Amino acid sequence: MLSGHTLKGRYRIYDHLGVGGAATAYLSRDSITGQMVVVKVVHPHLVNDDFIARFQREIDLLQQINSPYIIGLHDWALREYDEAINQTLNYIIIEFVEGHTLANVIDDRAPLAEKDALAITRQLALGLHEVHRLGIVHRDIKSQNIMVTPDQRVKLIDFGIAKGQNQLTITGPSQFTGTIYYAPPEQILEASSVDHRADIYSLGVVLYEMLMGHLPVRARELGTAASRIISGNIEPLQEVTDDVADLVLTMMAPKADNRLDTAMDVVHAIDQIESDAFDVAGLDDLPTPATTMIAQAVIQKEQANLGPQYALITESGQSIVLRGQQITVGRSHPSDPNVPDVDLWALGIEQARTASRRHCRIVITNDGAYVEDLGSMNGTFVNGAQLQPGSLQQLHDGDQLIVGRVVLTFNLG
């Protein structure tokens, strides 16, 4: 378990999200950008030259794709030795997508309304258009690999078995790759020879599943399921309009030559079913995703744990917490509505009357804390040296700051 560990000095790992056949997923936060991300760490026992080649391929493919409907890649590491935990790690850092898997939406809501199912399919087809344009075949389109966000957008995730145009597959011709229940006949018969139309078939299965609430083939035995898929023996569609049924069956034609030829053909076919433009699904009342609640808890915990990084300590031992990026230090006055952030008069400090109303300013940056005199009457001093108005002087832990005649000690908490 890597919870609590930081990768590359910036990706702080918080929660364990799940374990798949190839990797363990963790919720993380990028300390540089502030974004939540997902770290997928490959299981150590799988790491060999062939698997690293496959993992590198996923990285290469994701780097090429730029689509709002496809998961984004942020960073990666191959055979990176981490001294802190004495392990060699292989991982990718991908976009954190708030939402539910489409599989969970189907379990909770299916059958979906035709318009909602078509809206989701249309977005996926637009994502596949970008994938196919780059000569990439996903080969594992299924509802578990699709996220539905709170604003009803969809994203296709997991490119672990995708195949580029000029890349050989690691799996041999006789080794099936993918998920049987979503795979077209040609992928079951010879996985290495499939083209982009395999993804069209699988997307048709996803559309069928949204409309019916179950898969087109429900046999438990994989051999029976494969036989029915190859022969085109699927359960009939029920209670859907003729146009939608025709779309599904054309996408799922057993022979690739009989399917819609491209992902954009799917988009155009959906647009022709109704005059309305299918944009987003009407699933607004979905519950808050568990991953979203985890991310919110992480952010709240971080904010609570950050606490004050800097403080000023008075001669009496009183601690003045410095909050924000620019903190004005000075003395309030009844005739002046502008009150400084650190009001020495309100704090009851005896020498506060010697401070100007806007005496000095403390500036907090990523590099530390700095103090600037604001043209005060009696001057601002750091360790006995007077500051020139308008110039920044960096503060260090234990520095003595004199504001008028008020003596403060800068504290790095």
Measured between alpha carbons, how far is 330 from 340 in angstroms, rounded to an integer?
6
Among candidate residues 263, 270, 255, the one with its CA nearest the CA of residue 129:
263
Q: Is 383 left (phi over 0), alpha (psi -120 to 50) or beta?
A: left
DSSP E strand boundaries for 72-224: 73-82, 87-95, 100-101, 146-148, 154-156
Residue 140 appears among annotated catalytic residues: yes
Residue 132: both structure tokens together: 């196919």
Measured between alpha carbons, how far is 125 from 112 in angstroms, rounded to an integer?
18
Candidates 116, 140, 158, 343; catalytic one: 140
Secondary structure element (H or E) that encloses residue 400, with its range = strand 400-403
268-272 long-range contacts, CB within 8 A, separation 24+: 270/118, 270/121, 270/122, 270/125, 271/122
**What are the φ and ψ backbone dihedral angles of 359, each rounded to 5 degrees?**
-85, -55
Among candidate residues 385, 413, 411, 386, the one with its CA nearest the CA of residue 399:
411
Residue 385: both structure tokens together: 């040296």
Determine the angle formed by the axes of helices 197-212 and 102-109, rounding to 10 degrees. 30
Kindly list the catalytic residues: 140
